[in-house]
Structure formats: C-alpha cells, structure tokens
Amino acid sequence: MHVTHDSSAGPAETIGFDQFLAVDIRVGTIVEALPFPEARKPAFKLVIDFGPVIGRKRSSAQITEHYRLEELHGRQVAAVVNFPPRQIGKFMSEVLTLGFPDAEGKVVLFHPGEPVPNGGRLF
C-alpha cells in the first residue's frame, strides 16, 4: 500500500489525540522482498512480520530508488496496520509501510534506530 503526499505543503489540519490513537502504527521485520514488475510505479512486494499478535502482512512499497531486494530482508520498518487492504494490480497490500521523501521525493523507509520487538506500537 502506498500513498503520495506533497511535502512542500504546510502541516495538515489539527486533529484530536484520540484520532492519532486510532492510527495503529507498528514495527515489523521484513521477511520477504520480491520484485513487483507489474506495478504502475516501481515498487517491491514485501512480507513483514509484526509478531505473534498481528502476524505477517503484505505491503507494496515504492522504495526501489534507495533499496535493493537483497538488503531488505531483516530490516525493521514501521507500518500502519489498521487500514483496509488495498488492491494494487493483482497484489493485495495489507499494510502501509511508512517512509519520508528525500530531497528528490524518493522514499526513505522509516525505522527504529535500534532493534525493537516486532509488533511494538508507536506512541
């Protein structure tokens, strides 16, 4: 699952803390990364392990500019795990893997600075 945002825009409108808490952002470890040649924009198919409670989820991620498939296995990432699944071509993306744009707008993955247990929730 991927979403495009204009980082040159100002901050989004103010939300309540309860709205923030409704977004379930968890950490997981990439256990499989595959090419996604049929995607409209260059992307990889990821399988991310979020631990025993959430399990393994699939995600399409437009991260081909900064990452090679072989270096993604074992990398921890953050993802929104409570959006509805989204069909991307023949692939069902179940979570939104999070990243930030670099100076050219290419995605850099958001990840913890130190290893943490899979399934941990952002607070």
Q: What's residue 6's pLDDT?
A: 61
pLDDT at 2 over 60: no
Please report whether residue 103 resides in a domain. yes
Please report whether residue 43 resides in a domain. yes
Domain count within the chain:
1
Domain that holds residue 75: 21-109
Please report whether residue 1 resides in a domain. no
Q: What's residue 116's pLDDT?
A: 97
pLDDT at 77 over 50: yes
Please report whether residue 116 resides in a domain. no
Please report whether residue 59 resides in a domain. yes
Pair 58, 45: CB distance under 8 Å = yes
The domain that contains 27 carries what CATH number?
2.40.50.140
Tell me the pTM.
Answer: 0.89
Please report whether residue 47 resides in a domain. yes
Q: What's residue 5's pLDDT?
A: 55
Distance CA 29, CA 56 (A): 9
Q: How many CB atoms lie within 10 A of CB 14?
A: 6
Q: What is the mean pLDDT of the chain?
A: 92
Q: What's residue 33's pLDDT?
A: 98
Please report whether residue 26 resides in a domain. yes
Please report whether residue 15 resides in a domain. no
